[in-house]
Structure 1
Amino acid sequence: MWYEILPGFGIIVVCLCVPGFVTPRIQKFQNNGKLKRVAKDWNEWWMMSRDYRLTGSHYIGRGLEAIPDKPTKK
C-alpha cells in the first residue's frame, strides 16, 4: 500500500536534511566559536593576490614603491 514508502521516504529526508544542520556546527567548531570567518583572512588573501599581480610572486611583498604614480596610457 501507499504507507510502505514512508520508511524509505523518511530515510531520504533525514539524509538530505542532516548535512544542512551539521555543517554550520562543524564550521563553528573549526572557527573557534565564530560562525563565519573574520575579515582578516579575506584581507590577507587579497593582499597576497595584490603582491602576485604587482610582482609576479605571492612570496615577494612590495610596498608603495611597486605601484606606479600615474597610470600609463597605451
Structure 2
Amino acid sequence: MWYEILPSAGIILVAMTFPHASAYIINKLALGNMYRRSMLTITDRYNYTRDKRLGDGNPYKIVGLEAVPN
C-alpha cells in the first residue's frame, strides 16, 4: 500500500536535514549565532571581529559612523 513508503521517506528526510540542522547547532555553540560568515581569508576574519566589536557584540547589526569611537 501507499503507506509502506513512509518509513523510507522518513529516513531520507532525516538524512537530508541532518547536515543543515547540525550546522546551525555547531555555529550556535562555536560562534554564538546561528549563521556563519565565510572566514576563509584573514581579511574576512578581521572584518568579522571588527563588526562584532563595533556592533555591540552582534556582527550582523548594521552600524554607521556614529558607532565608531573618536
TM, length-normalised to structure 1: 0.42
Q: TM-score, normalised by structure 2?
A: 0.43
